[in-house]
């Protein structure tokens, strides 16, 4: 998957609101969080701790959390359920809000 830097994100980079898991997953893979944050631990921290307070996250945290969710469900060998998709879509929508407001640099 082609990588997209935060500053290069546009509204067209993101899946539509409420998109299926496959579309969200494809977008998440445009950011290699392990490489960007320096390994598993900081990415896991972004997903499991920081993403509990989505508005307080940086754009990098949001994208790392989304990437981690794709890895989590790949490891589980099943897609997220409806409850988990609510959180996953919230991550995408906050990323969308950051792009709209110009806070993606």
Q: What angle do CA 82, 53, 105 make, to 5 degrees?
A: 105
Taking only the tens place, the pLDDT of each residue in 19-75 is 999 999 999 999 999 999 999 999 999 999 998 999 999 999 999 999 999 999 999
Reported pTM: 0.93
Least confident residue range of 39-43, 59-63, 81-85, 101-105: 101-105
DSSP code, position 12: G
Angstrom distance (rounded) from CA 78 to CA 72: 10
> CA Rg, the chain, in Å?
12
Is residue 48 within 8 A of residue 72, CB to CB? The reply is no
Paired tokens of 51: 């993403």
């Amino acid at each position: 998957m082609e990588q997209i830097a935060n500053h290069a994100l546009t509204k067209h980079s993101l899946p539509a609101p409420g998109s299926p898991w496959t579309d969200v997953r494809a977008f998440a893979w445009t950011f290699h969080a392990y490489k960007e944050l320096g390994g598993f631990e900081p990415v896991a921290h972004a997903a499991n701790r920081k993403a509990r307070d989505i508005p307080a996250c940086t754009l990098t945290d949001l994208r790392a959390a989304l990437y981690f969710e794709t890895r989590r469900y790949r490891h589980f060998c099943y897609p997220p359920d409806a409850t988990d998709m609510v959180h996953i879509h919230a991550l995408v929508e906050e990323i969308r809000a950051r792009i709209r407001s110009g806070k993606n640099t």
